[in-house]
Structure 1
């Protein structure tokens, strides 16, 4: 299985996961041109994607969905409330209803050789999910846009070979920054985004001997820095007395908002 980020951040998200026979895209929150260029870097094309998995309907996750669907006719998988929300977004243009496939949290489905497990996340969207994707040999997950985590989230992120995990903001930067108070309250709330500190605490609970790579994703442009997210998450892991691991035991990198990440091959 291979795994890479084309874009990850508050300005747009698109991830690619797959194996020799099947690849899927998770979210299409950037332009079709950028998606195609990102795919091309590793000798794929958007047309190669067997499915497009949508986490939720916010524009940084679906802004390219209309163009992609009309040009490539890729099946779109999302929860029913998310599909209804997408259909109401005039900015996306017309999308062929036959492309939509309804999924439910905690109910597995398959696309080609990939088994896909959507699971609930806490975010201010219609019915958002994260995804765990497995084939016969590897397990990966993409988990962003959640205001908090609990045992349910931990359970869904156990025994992975690779993970893209949200590290959205530095709490102090957000608190003293220019955002209006209601927006700060939303981001810090239970339906907002994971801070660097929370990301590190969550990561320390799901590390295992098999993890080859961790991407830190969905960083805020205004309230975070890549180096700050990286160092804070590492510090939280190293300070956790309940985990036998150190951050240096694993490859941890920050997925860029603007650049295609390295491709992790499992």
Structure 2
């Protein structure tokens, strides 16, 4: 495992976007994988790139049942006997197959996996029982916040006080409007139960407050309806032009280990 993940609360991305999403969170002893939207072999390859073997994972946390978040969950859990934590609604979608070690979670009910404390937080998204997560350890808190159609008051309250934030910047509204998607898909993506636009991410970030945030990661960028520079352009003004706290979680390369000190 990378030296950057040997102490404190750390996180990394295996990849983020419409083709697959997965995020690692660790305190150096407990290793969580949040979602697994890549096939088994690709997941193993991407984990190895970040210095982990699948059998080092203590749990997989599942946000919701869409394919870009669960494609590899079942195969990974079955091959490597990894416990999976998910809401009953996500399980009842019928898309995960047999899970040898399945644990129910309840939105807004905190639970722990070894040394990490986890808050599953309800978000507005077009899935059966979707959640996102606040994960705390070592006196630091990381918010994982993607796949939501609008920044509700509940979301603002639940994600306040984070030291790091993985934040959806799915689309640029103009690119979505002028892009190749059919009208029905444009309405879904841009609707209140779809995905956050760059401007909505900026609004949410402003409401959450910036003083405590050490790392802000733009994630779940659309391949067709966004560009990294547009996401950064939306957020940098909130940081007085200083982009040193900003990162991009890329679809192919993910994001290397980040430490919240």
Structures share a fold, TM > 0.5? yes
Distance in 2 of aligned mates of 1:45 and 1:141: 24
Give the match's secondary structure for 2:14.
strand
Give the match's secondary structure for 2:247.
strand
Q: CA deviation at 1:222?
A: 0.7
Q: Among 226, 251, 255, which residue is 2:249 paired with?
A: 255
Distance in 2 of aligned mates of 1:83 and 1:111: 19
* Partner in structure 1 of residue 53 of structure 2: 45
- Contact 2:236/2:243 (8 A) holds in 1: no
Q: TM-score, normalised by structure 1?
A: 0.91
Q: TM-score, normalised by structure 2?
A: 0.92
Unpaired runs of 5+ in structure 2? 1-8
- Contact 2:16/2:254 (8 A) holds in 1: no
* Partner in structure 2 of residue 129 of structure 1: 131
* Partner in structure 2 of residue 9 of structure 1: 17
Give the match's secondary structure for 1:199.
helix
- Contact 1:9/1:217 (8 A) holds in 2: yes
User: How many pairs are equivalent?
Assistant: 252
| CA displacement, residues 119-161 of structure 1 (integer Å, 9 cap, x when unaligned) | 0110100010000000132100111000001221111211111
Q: CA deviation at 1:205?
A: 1.7
* Partner in structure 1 of residue 6 of structure 2: none
CA RMSD in angstroms comes to 1.4
Q: Among 90, 112, 115, which residue is 1:113 paired with?
A: 115
Alignment of 1:1-266 (within 5 A): 1-85=9-93, 88-89=94-95, 94-96=97-99, 98-235=100-237, 237=238, 246=240, 248=242, 251-266=245-260
Residue 249 and residue 182 in structure 1: after superposition, are their counterparts in 2 closer, same or farther (change >3 A)?
A: closer
Worse-superposed segment, 137-146 or 205-214: 205-214
Distance in 2 of aligned mates of 1:176 and 1:21: 47
| CA displacement, residues 175-201 of structure 1 (integer Å, 9 cap, x when unaligned) | 111111111111111100000110111
* Partner in structure 2 of residue 241 of structure 1: none
Unpaired runs of 5+ in structure 1? 238-244
